[in-house]
């Protein structure tokens, strides 16, 4: 269990026990129901929605409440038990600790730890633990089940009293409660060799091998995979016994190397040239040519030995093709992947939307949960605080955008999983473009280091301010629209003015970003004058402030009445086209929309009639799934 648990408290009765747990586990955070648990680290109003949100984000949940509350909340969203985070229910007095979900993914272990701390009883109900004494579908650390799909029928037979035959050394199996018989029809095989499993034979591989590789830049993926598979087969090493793929850090972004790790379903670990050079005395095929190129005398053998550790030995010496090399090392124990080398760094560029939890994508929430470090403007980190507890925070002030992005990339270059937090959609007027710009620049021209350039990047879309504003007021973006930033910090005003003229002449609905600031008070007024030359003074204008947050306000005015004093940097401004309409409803609330011409199609010929005509068929309405953002 890697993520820190969220302690869910619904009333004061469970708070004392939750606070006891929080004191013992420094990274745990208390989430309390607003109005009932005022001292909680994070408060929520909707219990069911909050529990589901935490679960979808992968947070372990410890509920100090009746188990039925958690069951009713999570039942509608349960899918694959192999992907669910731990969920534990604790009685308010701490006497009973019940792992409800994710028993073999950390819930049973968490229940035992909590029971020991609180002096309670861990009510573990998973059959593998209680009757068999072993979780056959999720073997212990250092082992891999080769045929997990066959675990269910095997366990069903064993739970019904069937005997089992254990083949090969595995203390965790020998120490279980399994009924053993030499002539049993069911077998559990512990082996390093490639053995086929079946619905009556489960095969377990100890993770004792490291595959070290090197290759030329742009090496064909199949060439490297075939090289490794050939020598695994010749050495009679099961792919399931491979703990990791290892290489020099210069190859962290090599497509073939990453494809090999994915093919074997193992982590990629990388080492510096200095680290690999330390393995020179153990190399079987040291090379001065390799040393002159990368600074160590062997990549594939050195990486395999470094991953296998001090007691590792080469099982397969360096083998090569025209563009690739591989070597395989074995350790007599198990390879602890997290304790050797480092991962290829990863940067998640996350758009968190305007700020409302419900408007943030599940992908964005998941990526924040998976990150070890979070980087962002302090306000944005505060908005998502409950999702980033226990992580290393790196706060940057507004205006330090380039420093912020460069720092995030460099930290990822150290092998970390970094989340760069941006409001709205990070790819629109925000951090996304700067990430790719710095990756593109040479380091001497303000770019990032070579290590930072080799990180993997995920750009998670978010709900933009313009989308949120449009949805809140109706559908003003229902037809062609554009977005224009009025900030001239990075774009000359002359260029902005040309774009304003073009958008005005083109009759686009316009979303204005960065409309004003303390020092900029004239641009919005100038934009208004330009638009008034091309559209009616009665054109609807929507002003959305703090969208999706408790302080949200929404106002509809007209282009003529639009005043700079009504707008600040937290305001999203939508200016309608000549076709946009404001309609007052019976409840006194307006909505704004921009028609697409559906009314004109009422009397249009049917598609069957059009087949005999020369004109093209009426174009069907296009769907609009664009995602957008703001972060200035």
Residues 500, 416 within the same domain: no
Indicate whether 619 belongs to any domain: no
Number of neighbouring beta carbons within 10 Å of residue 423: 27
Residues 564, 529 within the same domain: yes
Note whether 273 and 336 are within 8 A (CB).
no
What's the confidence (pLDDT) of residue 628? Answer: 35
Residues 110, 190 within the same domain: no
Tell me how far apart the alpha carbons of residues 256 and 214 are, in angstroms, rounded to a whole number: 10
Query: Which secondary structure element, helix H or strand E, spans residue 419, and what is its range?
Result: strand 417-422
What pLDDT, in 10s, does the model give residues 565-596? 999 888 999 999 999 999 999 888 999 999 98
- Angstrom CA distances, 41 to 9, 36, 251, 383, stand at 11, 13, 43, 13
Indicate whether 617 belongs to any domain: no
> What residues have CB less than 8 Å from 571, skipping those under 6 apart?
515, 516, 543, 544, 545
Q: Enter the tokens of residue 485.
A: 């930033």
Note whether 396 and 373 are within 8 A (CB).
no
Mean pLDDT of 183-204: 95
Residues 452, 367 within the same domain: yes
**Model confidence band, residue 617 (pLDDT cutoffs 50, 70, 90):** very low
Query: Which secondary structure element, helix H or strand E, spans residue 224, and what is its range?
Result: helix 221-234
Output Rg (C-alpha) for the chain, integer angstroms.
30
What are the two backbone dihedrals, phi and then psi, of residue 538, each rounded to the nearest 5 degrees?
-90, 5
What's the confidence (pLDDT) of residue 606? Answer: 52
Q: Enter the tokens of residue 357.
A: 């939890």
Q: Enter the tokens of residue 209.
A: 């091998």
What's the confidence (pLDDT) of residue 600? Answer: 64
Residues 472, 451 within the same domain: no
Q: Which structural domain, as residue segments, surrounds residue 97?
A: 6-125
Question: Where among 342, 365, 394 does a domain terminate?
Answer: 342
Per DSSP, the residues of 345-372 read: PEEEEEE-BTS-GGGS-HHHHHHHHH-S
Indicate whether 569 belongs to any domain: yes
Distance of CA 246 to the CA centre of its chain: 24
Residues 472, 457 within the same domain: no
- Angstrom CA distances, 410 to 261, 345, 440, 451, stand at 23, 9, 14, 7
| CATH assignment at residue 39 | 3.40.50.11220
Three-state SS for 97? strand
Residues 498, 390 within the same domain: no
Q: How many domains are there within the chain?
A: 5
Strands of 289-408 (E only): list them.
313-320, 324-330, 342-343, 346-351, 373-377, 392-396
Q: How many CA atoms lie within 13 A of 252 on its CB side?
A: 26
Question: Where among 206, 225, 260 does a domain terminate?
Answer: 206
What are the two backbone dihedrals, phi and then psi, of residue 607, each rounded to the nearest 5 degrees?
-55, -35
Indicate whether 389 belongs to any domain: yes
Number of neighbouring beta carbons within 10 Å of residue 374: 24
Mean pLDDT of 603-624: 43
Indicate whether 609 belongs to any domain: no
Tell me how far apart the alpha carbons of residues 45 and 55 are, in angstroms, rounded to a whole number: 17
Residues 224, 320 within the same domain: yes
What are the two backbone dihedrals, phi and then psi, of residue 82, each rounded to the nearest 5 degrees?
-75, -10
| CATH assignment at residue 356 | 3.40.1010.10
Question: Where among 435, 463, 491 does a domain terminate?
Answer: 463
| CATH assignment at residue 256 | 3.30.420.180
Greater confidence, 226 or 397? 226
The vertex-126 CA angle with 125 and 128, nearest 5°, equals 135
Note whether 326 and 302 are within 8 A (CB).
no
Mean pLDDT of 321-348: 96
What's the confidence (pLDDT) of residue 46? Answer: 87
Residues 223, 279 within the same domain: yes
**Model confidence band, residue 625 (pLDDT cutoffs 50, 70, 90):** very low
Residues 483, 440 within the same domain: no
Indicate whether 367 belongs to any domain: yes
Residue 277 reports pLDDT greater than 80: yes
Residues 14, 111 within the same domain: yes
Give the closest residue to 548 by CA, choosing from 420, 462, 449, 614: 462
Three-state SS for 486? coil
Indicate whether 512 belongs to any domain: yes
What would you measure as the largest C-alpha separation in the chain, in angstroms? 92
Q: Is 106 left (phi over 0), alpha (psi -120 to 50) or beta?
A: left
What pLDDT, in 10s, does the model give residues 527-544? 999 999 999 999 999 999
**Model confidence band, residue 237 (pLDDT cutoffs 50, 70, 90):** very high
| Helices and strands: H and E segment counts in the chain | 21, 30
Per DSSP, the residues of 509-543 read: EEEEES---SS--SHHHHHHHHHHTTS-TT-EEEE
Indicate whether 133 belongs to any domain: no
pTM for the predicted model, two decimal places? 0.78
| CATH assignment at residue 481 | 3.30.950.10
How much of the chain exceeds pLDDT 90, in percent?
60
Residues 25, 88 within the same domain: yes
Distance of CA 214 to the CA centre of its chain: 29
% helix / strand / coil in the chain, to the nearest 5? 35, 25, 40
Tell me how far apart the alpha carbons of residues 413 and 438 are, in angstroms, rounded to a whole number: 13
Three-state SS for 442? coil
Query: Which secondary structure element, helix H or strand E, spans residue 544, and what is its range?
Result: strand 540-545
Residue 259 reports pLDDT greater than 60: yes
Q: Is 432 left (phi over 0), alpha (psi -120 to 50) or beta?
A: alpha
């Amino acid at each position: 269990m890697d993520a820190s648990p969220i302690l869910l408290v619904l009333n004061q009765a469970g708070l004392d026990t939750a606070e006891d747990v929080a004191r013992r586990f420094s990274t745990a955070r208390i989430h309390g129901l607003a109005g009932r648990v005022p001292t909680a680290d994070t408060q929520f109003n909707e219990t069911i929605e909050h529990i589901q949100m935490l679960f979808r984000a992968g947070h372990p949940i410890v509920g100090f409440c009746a188990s039925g509350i958690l069951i009713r909340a999570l039942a509608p969203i349960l899918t694959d038990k192999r992907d669910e985070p731990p969920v534990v229910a604790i009685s308010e007095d701490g006497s009973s600790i019940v792992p409800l979900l994710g028993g073999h993914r950390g819930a049973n272990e968490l229940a035992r730890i909590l029971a020991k701390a609180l002096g309670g009883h861990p009510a573990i109900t998973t059959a593998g633990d209680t009757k068999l004494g072993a979780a056959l579908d999720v073997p212990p650390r250092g082992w891999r089940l080769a045929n997990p799909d066959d675990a269910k029928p095997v366990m069903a037979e064993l739970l019904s009293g069937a005997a089992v035959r254990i083949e090969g050394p595995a203390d965790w199996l020998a120490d279980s409660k399994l009924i053993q018989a030499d002539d049993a029809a069911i077998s559990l095989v512990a082996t390093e060799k490639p053995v086929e499993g079946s619905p009556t034979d489960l095969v377990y591989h100890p993770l004792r091998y490291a595959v070290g590789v090197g290759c030329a830049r742009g090496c064909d993926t199949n060439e490297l995979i075939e090289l490794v598979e050939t020598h695994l087969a010749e050495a009679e090493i099961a792919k399931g016994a491979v703990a990791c793929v290892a290489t020099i850090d210069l190859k962290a972004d090599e497509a073939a190397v990453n494809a090999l790790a994915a093919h074997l379903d193992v982590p990629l670990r990388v080492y510096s040239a200095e680290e690999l050079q330390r393995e020179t005395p153990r190399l079987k095929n040291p090379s001065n040519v390799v040393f002159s190129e990368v600074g160590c005398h062997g990549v594939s053998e050195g990486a395999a030995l470094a991953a296998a550790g001090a007691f590792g030995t080469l099982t397969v010496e360096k083998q090569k093709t025209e563009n690739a090399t591989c070597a395989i090392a074995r350790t007599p124990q198990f390879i602890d992947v997290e304790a050797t080398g480092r991962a290829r760094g990863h940067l998640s560029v996350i758009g968190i939307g305007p700020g409302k939890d419900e408007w943030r994508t599940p992908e964005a929430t998941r990526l924040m949960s998976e990150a070890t470090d979070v980087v962002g403007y302090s306000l944005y980190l505060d908005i998502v605080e409950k999702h980033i507890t226990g992580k290393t925070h790196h706060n940057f002030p507004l205006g330090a955008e380039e420093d912020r992005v460069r720092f995030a990339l460099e930290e990822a270059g150290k092998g970390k999983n970094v989340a760069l937090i941006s409001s709205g959609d990070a790819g629109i007027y925000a951090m996304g473009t700067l990430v790719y710009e710095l990756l593109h620049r040479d380091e001497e021209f303000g770019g990032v280091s070579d290590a930072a350039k080799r990180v993997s990047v995920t750009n998670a879309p978010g709900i933009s301010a313009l989308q949120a504003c449009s949805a809140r007021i109706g559908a003003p973006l229902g037809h062609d629209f554009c977005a224009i930033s009025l900030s001239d910090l990075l774009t000359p005003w002359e260029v902005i003015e040309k774009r304003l003229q073009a958008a005005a002449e083109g009759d686009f609905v316009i979303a204005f970003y960065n409309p004003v600031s303390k020092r900029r008070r004239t641009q919005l007024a100038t934009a208004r004058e330009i638009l008034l030359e091309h559209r009616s003074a009665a054109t609807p204008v929507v002003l959305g402030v703090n969208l999706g947050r408790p302080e949200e306000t929404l106002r509809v005015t007209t282009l003529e009445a639009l005043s700079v004093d009504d707008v600040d940097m937290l305001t999203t401004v939508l200016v309608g086209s000549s076709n946009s309409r404001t309609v007052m409803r019976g409840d006194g609330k307006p909505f704004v929309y921009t028609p697409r011409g559906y009314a004109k199609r009422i009397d249009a010929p049917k598609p069957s009639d059009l087949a005999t005509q020369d004109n093209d068929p009426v174009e069907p309405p296009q769907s609009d799934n664009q995602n957008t953002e703001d972060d200035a």
